[in-house]
Amino acid sequence: MASVRFTVTPTKAEDLPGLSDTSPDISSRSGARVRFGSRESVNRSDPLSEASGGVTTGGGADTPDHSSVEQGDGNSKISSVYINNTHGVDDDDFYDRNLALFEEEMDTRPKVSSLLNRLANYTNLTQGAKEHEEAESIGEKKKASKSPQMGTFMGVYLPCLQNIFGVILFLRLTWVVGTAGVLQGLCIVFICCCCTMLTAISMSAIATNGVVPAGGAYFMISRSLGPEFGGAVGLCFYLGTTFAGAMYILGAIEILLMYIAPKAAIFESKQPEGEGAAMLNNMRVYGSICLLLMSLLVFVGVKYVNKLASIFLACVIVSIVSIYVGALVSAFKPPHFPVCMLGNRTISGHEIDDNQCAKTFLQIKEPVERVDNNFTIINENSTAGPTFDPSLAPALGEKTTYLWKHFCESPELNASCDKYFMSNNFSEIEGIPGLASGIISENLFSSYLSKGDVVEKGSLKSSLVAHPASTHQPYVFADITTSFTLLVGIFFPSVTGIMAGSNRSGDLKDAQRSIPIGTILAILTTSIVYLSSVVLFGACIDGVVLRDKFGDSVKGNLVVGTLAWPSPWVIVIGSFFSTCGAGLQSLTGAPRLLQAIAKDNIIPFLRVFGHGKANGEPTWALLLTALIAELGILIASLDLVAPILTMFFLMCYLFVNLACALQTLLRTPNWRPRFSYYHWTLSFLGMTICLALMFISSWYYAIVAMVIAGMIYKYIEYHGAEKEWGDGIRGLSLSAARYALLRLEEGPPHTKNWRPQVLVLLKLDEDAHVKSPRLLTFASQLKAGKGLTIVGTVVSGNFLQSYGEALAAEQTLKHLMDKERVKGFCQCIVAQKPREGISHMIQSSGLGGMKPNTVVMGWPHAWRQSEDPQSWKTFINTVRVTTAAHLALLVPKNISLFPSNSEPCTEGYIDVWWIVHDGGMLMLLPFLLRQHKVWRKCGMRIFTVAQMEDNSIQMKKDLATFLYHLRIEAEVEVVEMHDSDISAYTYERTLMMEQRSQMLRQMRLSKSDREREAQLVKDRNSMLRLTSIGSDDDDDTDGGERDRPTSSSGGGGGGSSEHHRRVQMTWTKEKTSQYRATHSGCSTPEGFRDMLSIRPDHSNVRRMHTAVKLNEVIVNKSHDARLVLLNMPGPPRNPEGDENYMEFLEVLTEGLERVLLVRGGGSEVITIYS
């Protein structure tokens, strides 16, 4: 047979099939094989090479080209005549021949190769706004974005440095060192740096556990701890960032008004007491203007902010370098900044107008040769005054200095002056003694001051130390009361900003490598700078200058600036620009964070802030951010704003640590961070430090921050959109649930711990609507929101065909549970027969120790009139099943008359008829119902029945004592039931019941025969037919639910009353009429006569007597009760008496509006013991 050989040229290594040893007509050749799986592709340009000099076919014609290659979508496809494509299979399926077994599932379960291809092309996601799948589908439509190229240094290290170094370093660190001392200052810095370092370790673990989109801390916490924690902490982080913007702006304005342009102040006070208020007003005005300008800049375009960022970072680095250089230079040549002291008290340099730190000076009265004709200053207390010729002394006159006027009533030498002024002398000390001066020994220990205290130098002597200073005198005063805790709160913002790297994760080339290295290196760098700065400040600057917050003693210079080299202006200008830059960064980052939270749609009222300009800029979020920042600016004091943002940042860091610790301890399968240098103990230590710092710095701010976070958490829990992010809290819940369930399995629950774990059986109609929704209302009132509730229903049919119907039924139940505010689970079972479904549900519901112990089901409504006996048969079967399973059973009768949750009973009684003891359910249920607002105002009455031989008085006493020990308040009554003859009414009711049962049986049987006969006539129009008598399916025999799909909770019928067997026989007219005569008593007058001559069964008469008598008593005593609870008698052992059992229950509850039939589970549920 002729064969065709293909010349195959390898082009690229893809899994393309190659064909070999094939013939032109593969279908006509037996034993032909096609081999797939060659790693070569067919090239269209290569001609067919002929084997043995040529290829010949039947007619000697050339062999047609049996293979052509089509190029499309970047892959080669083969369109071959050898493949039978009659089923419309795509060429791709031809390639996937090795995976043909899975081809029907390819749409839901893609090939590994296509999955890996999608993952490899992953670049970045939108900022926490959409889930991964949505972002990927959107990404396919957009143009290919530029791949991120930023490395560790530019992408993480420098942004972190810029965010961490800030206003506190330049404006407050010297004051913190001077007030707390070098030792406590080191302690403050070390604690804060430890906190951020531990948080960075936890953050690195989370950030390297998968891809973190831009959104940083919020995204990490929300995906690790769930939407509730994520939303709460995300908003705290947002508020912290916003208030940080306000703090940076206030710092910039403070530098501007204090050190750059003091003359620019709008408000000025003539009185010393009003200077502080005037300064705050200046800060508010200028701060608001600055905030407006910055907001406009951010609104116009973030690209300008990003361009300025590098300039601002350069300013920070130059400023810090100048401090170090200045400290080293001061060891050899200290800068000259004299500080004037009166005794040991510091004098403000602003008040020394004539540069005279003295009480008086000598002035030349007349011109003399060799001496300047202006004046020669002689400091009264100076140790080294200017040299002059004693012969000139008569020409000199003593004058008072400018400082004299502040301490004395007049500038005259004989004026009355302040006592402290008179008893102490002026002296000048060097503000910057230098690194080699040994001044650090004086600055080692703390010197905390109260508001209004004078800044003093302890090493200088003074008399009248206790003499109070007046604010009118030119001292340097403390503006706030200081303490260790306050300084922690003020300093902590200077170590925040560690999230800057993780916020930029989308721009990094390798985020999982860069974030840990860059962040931890930045924290190490800043920690070293802060710790060394504390030591340098303590070693170079005098204590009084350090404690002088605004530099008044050094003529209003910035204290850090006095140490800087070559000029204080380096620090002043550098710090001004760096704080402005940090403020811009905060105003840029905060709105994006809010937009990410809003787009996640977990806080409904924030949705509007998810919208922005066409390019995605968050306009509305920026507006809200500016308004909140304005609140911070209106506070106007840097020292009051700093603790606020300290709280918010600490709370954020606390939850980052919690997230890491939780994921580590739970050992979630998805927890596989690339960063391996973490441990749960470190995370817990970081969390503890965060919590401690919150309460150390300001306990009332800490409580407020926690309350805000708690309110947001509860709001999201109740009103927010439900999100499933695979978070750690869900994992914690699973672990806790597993632990608790295993603990519950250890033994049966003690009577004291018994509570109704309810399985509510609901029935759905043809339209999948719940027939008796009040059953669920009643269950919710019984539970009062506590314990386990399972709501179940049964769908008739085959599971494979009825799965969609079951899901719809489940959704209906969930909707009803939400409407009734029932916390619980729903379960829908598909079964061929409702009674089987209910049996399966009762057996399988729950898990471990959390199985239902009580079944709530509805009474079969109008069961007498129903042509379908399945409803009441199912009911009785369910009663039997619950009894067999040792479960309690509650059957509310006339459920439609029960009150809804919005109809509380204002008065009335819940009556309990305690006829037999079955575990104390009757006592416990009214108590549980009265916990709910609907039944709270109802009283409780307990009735019990005494026979002739009982002592009713003693019974009442015993019952009252029993209730007293049970701690249940109720009225007690014993009802005596005397023996009496069976009344004619009872006999008549029994007779009617039995006659009715007999008649219904005959009618059902004859109806079933008629239907069967009609069907057979239709099928075979002949006299001799083949049919079957009886059926395997008792539902069909009873005219049950063959065709109509129902969902039942009322259940699915009891055991069959007849032993069915399939009999096949040939029928004739004679046999048919004979069968009719024997089986249909109603069809002949004799049949009616037989039915009328029925004598009622003795046991039925006795049961009816009990029902009638009890009903009389109950109606007499409880006709006005809001609810009657009654023992439910058990069903008869013989299934033939089922219909009579229903009749007994009807008679027992006749004339009562609301009845709850109660059947205990056989175990004690209430105890008198504690």
Instruction: Say yes or no to pLDDT of 1087 above 70.
Output: no
Rg (CA), the chain: 46
At 416 the pLDDT is 85
Mean pLDDT of 165-183: 90
CA–CA dist 257, 107 (Å, integer) = 67
Number of other residues whose CB lies within 10 A of the CB of residue 1096:
18
Local structure of residue 99 (DSSP, 8 states): G
The pLDDT score that the predictor gives to residue 1096 is 60
Query: CB-based contacts of 739: which residues, under 8 Å, 6+ apart?
Result: none
Quick one: CA dihedral 15, 20, 24, 30, positive or negative?
negative
- Convert the pLDDT of each residue in 745-758 to its tens digit: 766 677 666 778 88
Q: Rounded to 10 degrees, what is the CA torsion of 193, 199, 202, 205?
A: -80
Max avg pLDDT among 274-283, 477-486, 951-960, 977-986: 477-486
pLDDT-based confidence at 1126, cuts 50/70/90? confident
Integer Cα distance of 29 and 872 in angstroms = 69
Summarised one tens digit per residue, pLDDT across range 1011-1058 is: 555 555 455 444 433 333 333 344 433 333 334 344 444 444 444 444
Q: Give the Cα separation of 495 and 2 in Å (integer).
A: 84
**Range with the poorest average pLDDT among 409-418, 906-915, 1008-1017:** 1008-1017
Q: What share of the chain has pLDDT > 70, as a percent?
A: 69
- Secondary structure (DSSP) of 34-97: -----S----TTSPPPPGGG----TTSPPPP--EEEEEETTEEEEEETTS--TT---HHHHHGG
Looking at mean pLDDT, say which of 45-49, 464-468, 705-709, 991-995 comes out highest.
705-709
Find the mean pLDDT for residues 874-893: 87
Q: Where are the alpha helices (DSSP H) in 968-983?
A: none
User: Is pLDDT at 542 greater than 50 in this prediction?
Assistant: yes
Where does the pLDDT of residue 623 fall: very low under 50, low under 70, confident under 90, or very high at 90 and above?
A: very high
Alpha carbons 949 and 585: distance in angstroms, whole number: 92
Cα 453-454-459 angle, rounded to 5 deg = 125
Locate the DSSP E strands across 749-819.
Answer: 758-761, 789-796
For residues 504 and 139, the answer to whether their CB atoms sit within 8 Å is no
Task: Note the pLDDT tens digit of each residue in 761-790.
Answer: 988 877 777 888 888 888 888 875 567 888
pLDDT, tens digit (0-9, with 9 covering 90-100), for 246-270: 999 999 998 998 888 888 888 887 7
pLDDT of 991: 65
- pLDDT reading at 192 higher than 90: yes
241 within 8 A of 644, measured Cβ to Cβ: no
CA distance linking residue 989 with residue 802, whole number of Å = 44
**Mean pLDDT on 178-195:** 94
Element (H, E) at 364: strand 360-364
Least confident range from 35-49, 694-708, 902-916, 1060-1074: namely: 35-49
Confidence of residue 728 (pLDDT cuts 50, 70, 90): low
More reliable by pLDDT, 22 or 229: 229
- How many whole angstroms separate alpha carbon 787 and alpha carbon 1012? 51
* pLDDT number for residue 1069: 57
Look at residue 915 in the predicted model and tell me its pLDDT.
79
| 927-962 core/surface letters (b: 16 or more CB in 10 A; e: else) | bbbbebebbeebbbbbbbbbeeeeeeeebeeebeee
Closest CA to 47 of 36, 31, 63: 63
**Interatomic CA distance for residues 376 and 791, integer angstroms:** 102
Q: Cα dist. 763→166, 824, 836, 845, 880 in Å?
A: 67, 18, 14, 17, 19
Q: Name residue 602's amino acid.
A: I
Sign of torsion over alpha carbons 547, 553, 557, 563: negative
Alpha-carbon distances of 1080 from 1005, 1075, 1076, rounded to whole Å = 7, 8, 6
Contacts of 188 (CB under 8 A, 6+ apart): 176, 180, 484, 487, 488, 491
How confident is residue 1008, by pLDDT bands cut at 50, 70 and 90?
Answer: low
Instruction: Tell me whether residue 532 is exposed, middle or buried, using C-beta atoms within 10 angstroms of its C-beta: 0 to 12, 13 to 18, 19 or more.
Output: middle
* Cα dist from 1016 to 636, 993, 1013, 1020, 1028, whole Å: 97, 35, 5, 6, 11
Task: Give the helix, strand, coil percentages of the chain, each rounded to 5.
Answer: 50, 10, 40
**Backbone dihedral region for residue 785 (phi beyond 0: left; psi -120 to 50: alpha; all else: beta):** left
For residue 595, what pLDDT is reported? 86
Confidence category of residue 181, pLDDT binned at 50, 70, 90: very high
Q: HEC string of 820-876?
A: HCCCCEEEEEEECCHHHHHHHHHHHCCCCCCCCCEEEECCCCCCCCCCCCHHHHHHH
pLDDT of residue 852: 86
In this prediction, residue 173 carries a pLDDT of 92
- More confidently predicted of 1147 and 1036: 1147
| Residue 72 pLDDT | 42
Q: Which of 1071, 1062, 1057, 1020 is nearest to 1133 (CA)?
A: 1057
Looking at residue 197, its pLDDT comes to 95
d(CA 794, CA 806): 8
pLDDT of residue 12: 43
| Span 842-868, pLDDT tens digits | 888 888 778 888 899 888 877 766 656
Q: What whole-number percentage of the chain has pLDDT above 90?
A: 12
| 59: confidence class by pLDDT, cuts 50, 70, 90 | very low
User: Would you mind telling me the total number of residues written for the chain in this entry?
Assistant: 1170
For the segment 993-1005, the average pLDDT, to the nearest whole number, is: 62
Tokens of 543: 């204590």
Question: Under a CB-based contact definition with an 8 Å cutoff, are residues 550 and 257 in contact?
Answer: no
For the chain, give the mean pLDDT.
Answer: 74
Nearest to 38 by CA among 64, 9, 66, 61: 9
Strand 426-430: give its sheet, edge to edge: 345-346, 338-342, 426-430
Nearest CA among 582, 677, 1161, 500 for reference residue 887? 1161
Lowest mean pLDDT among 434-443, 556-565, 598-607, 701-710: 598-607
Mean pLDDT within 192-196: 94
Residue-level pLDDT at 994: 65
Per-residue pLDDT of 931-948, as tens digits, reads 888 888 888 888 888 776
Distance in Å from the first CA to the final CA of the chain? 98
Q: Which has more confidence, 414 or 547?
A: 547
Q: Which of 31-35, 574-578, 631-635, 1066-1070 comes out lowest in average pLDDT?
A: 31-35
Out of 212-216, 235-239, 500-504, pick the least confident: 212-216
Q: What confidence tens digit (pLDDT) does each residue in 302-351 have? A: 777 777 888 888 888 899 999 999 999 988 888 888 888 888 888 888 76
Q: Is residue 375 helix, strand or coil?
A: coil
Residue 429's contacts (CB-CB under 8 Å, 6 or more residues apart) are 338, 339, 341, 457, 460, 542, 544
Residue 537 confidence (pLDDT): 92
- Shortest CA distance to 379 belongs to which of 431, 432, 433, 425? 425
Least confident of 61-75, 99-113, 188-202: 61-75
- Predicted confidence (pLDDT) per residue in 958-977, tens digit: 888 888 877 888 888 888 77
C-beta of residue 413 within 8 angstroms of C-beta of residue 390? no
Rounded to the nearest 5°, which phi and psi values hold at 319? Answer: -60, -45
Residues 1108-1119, mean pLDDT to the nearest whole number: 83
- C-alpha–C-alpha distance, residues 731 and 631, integer Å: 39
Burial of 365 (0-12, 13-18, 19+ CB in 10 A): exposed
**376 band by pLDDT with thresholds 50, 70 and 90:** very low
